[in-house]
Amino acid sequence: MLKDLLTKNRSYRRFRQSERITEEELKELVGLTRLCASGRNAQALKYAAVCSEEQCARVFPHLGWAGYLTDWDGPEEGERPAAYLVQVLDTRIVENCLCDDGIQAQTILLGAVERGRGGCIIKSFKNEALREALALPEHLKILHVIALGTPVERVVLEEMPADGDFKYWRDAEGVHHVPKRPTEELLVK
């Protein structure tokens, strides 16, 4: 059921790094994006599949992790992503992908969850350093990095507190808490 997939689809940031993800599995996840709607039907998004330990080690230092967790520099060795899909816009096709990037990133994560995996969409990265690490040509504009793996962390959804603080946080046991607004608050009356 879709609601179950959406509930399980959290921003996981710690993984069983030793449980590798194959290039074939990444190809299957990217294949799901072919079925998505595309503004103007341009289909201008592409993906750099990163799955070897060496490639992952080249990508990791260029990423930012969990902005609200200011005392955390990201997952430690052993809990880092097992793979990445780096979403790029082919600017030879169009200069603006409209909303395709979010639709496709969510589709990839839902596909990952369906397979017992998880991930995190990362927008905080060192663009030029990452471009160099992946040897990407200039016409491919990096939009997002999707970190993937088998999650080792527990993420709990909870009601937004009365003070409206929407920042996620971790407790002493490392459980990641994510406040969510009630449905009634999402409807304009």
Report angle CA 99, 179, 146 to the nearest 5 degrees.
Answer: 40
Report angle CA 139, 110, 18 to the nearest 5 degrees.
Answer: 85
pTM: predicted TM-score of the whole model, two decimal places: 0.97
Local confidence band at 87 (pLDDT 50, 70, 90 cut-offs): very high
Report angle CA 144, 158, 15 to the nearest 5 degrees.
Answer: 45
83-90 sheet: strands from edge to edge = 45-50, 83-90, 140-149, 118-122
Q: What is the pLDDT of residue 100?
A: 98
Q: What are phi and psi of 77, to 5 degrees?
A: -55, 135
Local confidence band at 164 (pLDDT 50, 70, 90 cut-offs): very high
Q: What's 174's DSSP letter?
A: -
Q: What is the pLDDT of residue 128?
A: 98
The closest of 146, 32, 40, 27 to 93, measured between CA atoms, is 40
Q: What are phi and psi of 98, to 5 degrees?
A: 60, -115
Q: What is the pLDDT of residue 94?
A: 98
Residues paired with 115 in a beta bridge = none
Q: What is the mean pLDDT of the chain?
A: 97
Q: What is the pLDDT of residue 55?
A: 98
Question: Tens digit of pLDDT for each residue in 94-117?
Answer: 999 999 999 999 999 999 999 999
Q: How many C-alpha atoms does 66 have within 13 Å on its Cβ side?
A: 20
